[in-house]
């Protein structure tokens, strides 16, 4: 279990914190009207790194199982995480498949185009920095007011804020591992 905690502390959490910081810097650049393009690119890169590191936690746990816990395959690890997933800590919220969506996002960033039939996004072009209109995202998801944020455009036409997907999957991991949940966006 210590190896998993160390990986969370030294790899996953810093990547998630980096994304939050880069997103804040992007918002500040927009307000100031200076360095917007550079800050946008940095936020996308940090989002990519956070998605990949959080997704690959499954591989790490598969190869470094906690005592008394073994998984036959990666699908078993992902199913265990998904079983603890709650949308933004709202227990009565409708089901979300964010473990699978995070996999698709990480794979899209890595491979650019996805050819898996089960993939819910087409590829890296489906992960964009854009503003959303009212009612495009679930209530409470992402930033309000239509400001730009990293959005995942799914094949079914729905959109998700990457920040919410990351938060949901991270929370599910902590719950699975019996760890306390920090305040939202404080990894």
What's residue 171's pLDDT?
A: 97
Render pLDDT for 82-107 as a digit per residue (tens, 0 to 9): 999 999 999 888 889 999 999 999 99
pTM of the model: 0.93
Residues ≥6 apart with Cβ < 8 Å to 182 = none
The structural domains of the chain, with segments of one domain joined by +, span 2-109+166-176
For range 59-88, the mean pLDDT: 92
* CA-derived radius of gyration, the chain: 16
Render pLDDT for 19-32 as a digit per residue (tens, 0 to 9): 999 999 999 999 99
> Positive or negative, the Cα torsion across 167, 169, 174, 176?
positive
What's residue 133's pLDDT?
A: 65
How far apart are the C-alpha atoms of 171 and 2, rounded to whole Å? 18
Of the candidates 139, 140, 130, 136, the residue with the CA atom closest to the CA atom of residue 158: 136
Locate tokens 């991991």: which residue?
173
Q: What CA–CA distances, in Å, run from 169 to 53, 66, 94, 159?
A: 12, 19, 15, 17
How far apart are the C-alpha atoms of 91 and 59, rounded to whole Å? 27
For range 137-159, the mean pLDDT: 85
């Amino acid at each position: 279990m210590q190896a998993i905690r160390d990986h969370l502390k030294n790899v996953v959490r810093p990547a998630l914190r980096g994304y939050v910081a880069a997103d804040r810097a992007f918002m500040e650049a927009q307000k100031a009207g200076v360095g917007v393009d550079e800050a946008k690119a940095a936020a996308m890169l940090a989002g990519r790194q956070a998605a990949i590191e959080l997704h690959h936690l499954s591989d790490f746990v598969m190869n470094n199982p906690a005592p008394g816990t073994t998984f036959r395959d990666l699908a078993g690890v992902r199913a265990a995480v998904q079983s603890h997933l709650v949308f933004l800590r709202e227990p009565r919220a409708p089901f979300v498949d964010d473990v699978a969506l995070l996999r698709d996002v990480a794979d899209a960033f890595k491979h650019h185009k996805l050819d898996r039939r089960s993939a819910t996004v087409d590829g890296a072009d489906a992960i964009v920095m854009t503003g959303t209109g009212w009612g495009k995202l679930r209530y409470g998801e992402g930033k309000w007011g239509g400001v730009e944020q990293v959005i995942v455009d799914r094949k079914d036409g729905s959109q998700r804020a990457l920040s919410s997907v990351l938060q949901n999957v991270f929370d599910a991991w902590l719950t699975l591992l019996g760890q306390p949940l920090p305040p939202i966006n404080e990894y």
